[in-house]
A and B are shown apart, each in its own frame.
Chain A
């Protein structure tokens, strides 16, 4: 059942450009995948580690800016991607060192501050970042002869990265390290007494999570061929966090569902409703009220609830038509 659904989803994703046809919608699908990668990475920290970060757009932006600068100073795409990811890892390590001095609200506030510093640099250090005007890059890469200049080519390349992200994160979640990380979320004190180095576990989770923000940031740069401070703003971090929370923290499917919701609202609903932000807000309120655990775990719970209701309704009818022989009393 589960495997069949997985194979079906995989086939649908691979063939998507063929049955969608329209380049506009293929581009939206690529955006969904890109933001799913961002949200999946963030979820490692938020969902499995219990550390809520509002600064990951900073890491996303650092990758995009580093990549853009590398390309515009004459580097090829390989150099650009390598330097973008290296910059992300270094920045994530610095973020983690500072933010992990606190947990809970302290952690959140430090990540907000760090994200805002990156935004401030992007906005104000005009000689490097070109300020509010942002930086454009001229080309998308063509790995193995596949040109990413077309919507379909870019979609397939993003899909490959997305599938790698899903697989790697699924493997991590089921591993002993994943279990350790979840343990530090649930009972940090006990974990320490059991011999775990909870600081190091959280630090490594932060690096891993930040790395995927960098990957998503680089895809974002290639998708738009442009990066500006808007992508680094606090609202971008909040949006990513909302994707994770709306979909369901600590699940593999949740961030993907959340990213799909936000991207579709942003691109499709905004074409029909001017105040699409209002609709998105209303949807989030509805999610919080109806399924506070997120859409994926919430739907599972609702389905189960409907199942029991259905069984309760049919059970008396069943016993009335065929009474138990020994249940007569």
Chain B
């Protein structure tokens, strides 16, 4: 049973087919890299997996269950978490509040209109611990708006990890980072235990190559090449797509 499986997934915006009959199976614990040039349909694929977009045809399966018609918010409860390529944080709130909101999303506590959120010591301690895991515990009480871009990238990851997902979707977690920051994020991702299945989008192939078990090359919404790291790198189609030869 695959952790995540896509069967014949199709999506068109008007006349443009951004996802064209995509079949994909990611095994539990696997690290899958999805690469492709700009406009290959990578982020659209993520939006289809999380349910933010509805596919025109095809199905999405999570641990053997068909989730194609399950609303986005329920998919989070089923163990699916994602990060965004364009930072989607709460800029006026502190890092701690951001991560707490993420934990709260899966807790019944989120409906509680009476207790004080800042008295929920258990929740807040877990959020602090999560921030420590991404090396931001020193900044826990600072508003996101007053942190550096590289730090915000790590908050994105902390928010996804705070939900203890079974399948984690990372949308260009290295986008806009300096080489030092990239190294930090790489270490951070390498430390995620193997119970978590990870699918990562990256358009620059070199950055995340050594992270991946298997690689899928997407081009014009179609899966062009798929295989182990060595197979994909050696494949002539990969070179064609990336060098435009």
Task: Tell me which residues across on chain A come within 8 A of B118, comparing CB atoms.
Answer: 174
Q: Choose one: A176, A177, A195; the contact of B73 (CB below 8 Å).
A: A195
In the complex, whether A191 has a CB less than 8 A from a CB of chain B is yes
Task: Tell me which residues across on chain A come within 8 A of B97, comparing CB atoms.
Answer: 179
In the complex, whether B69 has a CB less than 8 A from a CB of chain A is no
Tell whether A175 pairs with B112 under 8 Å between CB atoms, given A186-B90, A189-B88, A190-B88. Answer: yes
A304 nearest CB across to chain B (Å): 16
Instruction: List A28-48 residues whose CB lies under 8 Å from chain B.
Output: none
Residue interface mask A177-210, B partner, CB < 8 A = 1: 1111001001101111111111000000000000
Counted as pairs of residues, one from A and one from B, with CB atoms less than 8 Å apart, the total is 85
In the complex, whether B110 has a CB less than 8 A from a CB of chain A is yes
Which among B105, B111, B113, B159 has the greatest number of chain A C-beta atoms within 10 A? B113
- Report whether B88 and A176 are in contact in the complex, using a CB–CB cutoff of 8 Å: no
- Report whether A195 and B109 are in contact in the complex, using a CB–CB cutoff of 8 Å: no
In the complex, whether A7 has a CB less than 8 A from a CB of chain B is no
Q: Choose one: A174, A177, A196; the contact of B105 (CB below 8 Å).
A: A196
- Report whether B102 and A194 are in contact in the complex, using a CB–CB cutoff of 8 Å: yes
Interface of A is mostly: helix
- Report whether A176 and B163 are in contact in the complex, using a CB–CB cutoff of 8 Å: no
In the complex, whether B220 has a CB less than 8 A from a CB of chain A is no
Which size bracket describes the interface of A in this complex? 20 to 34
In the complex, whether A171 has a CB less than 8 A from a CB of chain B is yes
Task: Tell me which residues across on chain B come within 8 A of A268, comparing CB atoms.
Answer: none
State in angstroms the CA–CA spacing of A119 and B93 once bound together: 40
Binds A, one of B11-19, B27-35, B76-84, B200-208: B76-84
Instruction: List B74-100 residues whose CB lies under 8 Å from chain A.
Output: 74, 76-77, 81-82, 84, 88-93, 97, 100
Tell whether A186 pairs with B112 under 8 Å between CB atoms, given A176-B104, A179-B97. Answer: no
Residues of B within 8 A of A (CB): 50, 52, 72-74, 76-77, 81-82, 84, 88-93, 97, 100-102, 104-106, 109-118, 120, 159, 163
6 A-B residue pairs with CB within 8 Å: A174-B116, A180-B111, A186-B90, A187-B90, A194-B73, A195-B163
